Amino acid sequence: MMRTGIFLSYADGFREAAEEVVEFEKIGVDIALVAEAYSYDAVSQLGYLAAKTSTIELGTGVVPIYTRTPALMAMTAAGLDYVSDGRFHLGLGTSGPQVVEGFHGVPFDAPIGRTREVVDICRQVWRRENLSYSGKHYQVPLPAERGTGLGKSLHLINHPVRERIPITIAALGPKNVELTAEIAEGWQPVFFYPERADSVWGESLRAGAAKRDPDLGPLDVIVSATLAIGDDVEDRLAWAKPQLALYIGGMGARGKNFYHSLATRYGFGEVADRIQDLYLAGNKAEAIDAVPDDLVRNVSLIGPRGFVAERLAAYAEAGVTTLLVHPMGVDAAEQRRFVEELVSLAK
């Protein structure tokens, strides 16, 4: 049995997407995540979803650690957990320099060290301890030599619904994946290729698991994939290519693109180079055309019902416990049909 979920786009019409989540809840989808990049914030949308739903779990997928102070991150998570009656998951990630520096105007530095400290502070806030933290990147209260000297240790006024809100970390690099396996309840990789996942991340996951607190429980491996189920959906492979081209080709400069590096580690280095060359040269249509069907097929769930069932088995064999999907339907009715079929296959 595998949990199923929906990943809402941060660029599409949200009201329409929220109505879809209500329908997905009725057919047994377990969780819905809202991304945050540089569109509307995820928090206001999740508050809206909390009011529209009653059983489906809700989460951020993900919010960048640089855009809020750790204490505000904790307050926000506690607030969303309250309005959703304990259904919230806090998804964290570093994002990248394009968003953090280009849109928020803050330095993209020390991603691994900051991630660990943000998690530590959030959990201290949720336990309602007087917040006292002296880390390399965050000091709370602010030391007198760096402020007025009037700051004092405070604790959260409200009593959170839970003192341990689940934290998921989006991680790709070896050290960040190791950290995630050590300290987080969940791990959210991207463009997950089941048959090659262990060769890319297995060593890091095992190293982090060796240091993991047993109280955290097993790591929830939360993977996203585009979805289309049927005998006539081969054309949907092309629908998934623009996102792959954008991430592999355009999300970072040469040598500093996490997604290009991942495609290379999957064995698509030459293809990834060509996609990046085309994308950075402004030839986006050609970059999209350069994405091979084979890569799309192996990181997606697109094909006949039997093929999708086989891919689900491969995901389970690779350790996936929660599967988030982007249904590639021609309309809302077809999207619901795809998701309903997936739920029946996964359970």
CATH number at residue 64: 3.20.20.30
Determine, yes or no, domain membership for 305. no
In a domain, 128, yes or no: yes
| In-domain check, residue 246 | no
Residue 74 lies in a domain: yes
Contacts of 257 (CB under 8 A, 6+ apart): 248, 251, 276
The answer as to whether 303 is a domain residue is no
- Look up the domain containing 80 and give its range: 3-222+327-346
Per-residue pLDDT of 295-313, as tens digits, reads 999 999 999 999 999 999 9
* pLDDT range class, residue 97, cuts 50, 70, 90: confident
Residue 10 has pLDDT above 70, yes or no: no
- The reply to whether omega before 62 is within 30° of 0 (cis) is yes
- Model pLDDT, residue 106: 96
Greater confidence, 112 or 37? 112
Mean pLDDT of the chain: 95
The pTM for the full model equals: 0.95
Between 276 and 38, whose confidence is greater? 276
User: How many domains are there within the chain?
Assistant: 1
Answer whether residue 274 is part of any domain. Answer: no
Say if 261 falls within a structural domain: no
